[in-house]
Copies of this chain bind each other. A is one copy, B any other.
Amino acid sequence: MPDTLKLIHIIKYSKKMADYIEPKVLKGFRDFLPQAETVRRGLVEKIEASFRSFGFVPIDTPALEYAEILLGKGGGETEKQIYRFKDNGERDIALRFDLTVPFARFTAMHSAELTFPFKRYHIGKVWRGENTQRGRYREFMQCDFDIIGSESPATDFEIILLIHSAMKNLGVDVTIHVNHRGLFNRFLSNIGQSEKSVEVLRAVDKLGKVGEGETLKTLTSLAGETNAKKIIEFISAKGGFSQTLDRLTELSGGVCPESERLADLCRYMTEAVGSNGNADPFLINPSITRGLDYYTGVVFETFLNDLPDIGSVCSGGRYDNLAGLYSKDKNSVSGIGASIGLDRLIAALESLDKLPSADNCRTAIACVEIEKSGQYQRLAGRLRQEGIPCEVFTDPCGEKQLVKQFVLAEKKGLRYVIIPGKNPPSDPVTLRDISARQNKELTIEELIWVLKR
């Protein structure tokens, strides 16, 4: 619609109180107030910087897609939670519920324009009509990064290294739990249980929720007591990376491509970031399976060393044939990808008091005389040139009411108020430290020096 109609109805309908509309947001949706939004943007910026430093590039896709694209020809579980509707042209459309399916469609459509291996990241909102009682949101931001078009073990390694590096750049230490779906299948085959792999994987996936006792019961009914105990032994293997890998390899019937893949990963990681005995930044956790049908190779979850109970903050794995549904081309596009759980990560960083401090404005210039607004902004411009953010207050207080501007600054969480001299921007100023309640006379050069610290 034309700009001119933007807010007509607000003016029009607000005249009569009878037309008052209660302001509210939909359940499961959130407003982000300045502080929360500053934190979110700051965090995303830092994570993006890590992606870029590894040569990953951003893409974006539409929020709305044809429902057929998002749902395939099936639907099932997904269909119940998707925001799906008919547009004015009677097209069957829906809001994206993740960034992976649009990426598959994107890859099939644009493969001729992309260079493989393709390393991309995608940060954007997705929508799911989930049950909000479990503390889930219906609108949230996803942060995915993938390398597609290569089966090299160096890509598995790079994704895991990038997680480690991105978290380090956020000031937190993590332990990345790695597993290989193929190794588990080989083990099942070795104990003659490969035809039950789906059921077994499902039972193992629930281990964390239902406990070892319950899992053993389920497994016994599936595979008999001896095999059930072997499965529990397999998924409970612990210790350093190499030690665990040796044990798993033995249980799986000896060295195989999957155990070699994990051994490569271990060697690369150790060479790249080192290892310090008990506090390895990565380990093998054979109980991690990451779901049943999708991943085909290495899978992983990431835990904060200081807050492991909050759950994995970054998970993913290797998959085959990303774009298969949308591509007539027989060449499959395999890859490895990960997704950072931003909401969970923010909650964790907050409780660890490690939220990145945003490069916020800390300083305002007091508006003493409105007539000098132009000069105040020149003074502010001088500071901004030096990289110092600076607000200019806009409602005049007069020389005797400066305290009003101090109160405003305090409410806004600012640290300093500059009271300009008679002739801004050249005259010396008074700098008010709001929390210390102290004033200092400073030349402009001194002011810049103080504010740059």
A residues with CB within 8 A of B: 1-14, 17, 19-26, 29-34, 37-38, 40-41, 48, 52-55, 57-66, 68-69, 71-74, 76-78, 80-81, 83, 85-89, 91, 93, 95, 97-98, 100-101, 104-106, 108-110, 113-115, 117, 119-120, 125, 127-130, 139, 147, 150, 152-155, 157-158, 161, 165, 205, 264, 267-272, 290-294, 315, 319-328, 339, 359-361, 364, 367, 370-371, 373-375, 377-378, 380-381, 384, 389-392, 394-396, 408, 411-412
Contacts and interface: CB of A to CB of B under 8 A. Distances in A.
Contacts of A87: 26, 83, 129
B384 A53 contact: yes
A376 to B, nearest CB: 8
Nearest to A98: B6
Contacts of A62: 25-26, 29-31, 139
A33 B71 contact: no
Contact of A153 (B17, B69, B157, B373): B373
Contacts of A325: 9-10, 13-14, 19-21
A409 B324 CA distance: 27
Given A5-B77, A11-B319, A11-B320, 4 more contacts: A3-B291, A23-B69, A26-B87, A152-B396
Contacts of A359: 52
A4 B154 CA distance: 25
A422 to B, nearest CB: 14
Contacts of A21: 68-69, 72-73, 325-326
Contacts of A129: 87-89
A24 B313 CA distance: 32
A361 B52 contact: yes
B321 A4 contact: no
A395 B324 contact: no
A326 B59 contact: no
B157 A374 contact: yes
A129 B86 CA distance: 12
A78 B375 contact: no
The SS class assigned to the A binding surface is mixed
9 closest A-B pairs by CB: A4-B291, A271-B374, A55-B391, A14-B324, A85-B85, A34-B57, A9-B72, A268-B374, A154-B394
A384 B51 CA distance: 11
8 contacts: A7-B100, A9-B71, A31-B61, A53-B384, A55-B389, A152-B370, A158-B373, A158-B392
A367 B117 CA distance: 13
A165 to B, nearest CB: 7
A235 to B, nearest CB: 17
B117 A394 contact: yes
A61 B113 CA distance: 34
Given A34-B120, A139-B64, A378-B271, A293 B157 contact: no
B60 A63 contact: no
A204 to B, nearest CB: 12
A46 to B, nearest CB: 13
A308 to B, nearest CB: 18
A112 to B, nearest CB: 11
A128 B6 CA distance: 12
B98 A88 contact: no
Contacts of A10: 72, 101, 104, 321-322, 324-325
Nearest to A32: B60
A272 B155 CA distance: 53
A370 B152 CA distance: 8
Contacts of A360: 52, 57
A108 to B, nearest CB: 4
Contacts of A25: 61-62, 65, 109
A7 B294 CA distance: 6
A6 B395 CA distance: 53
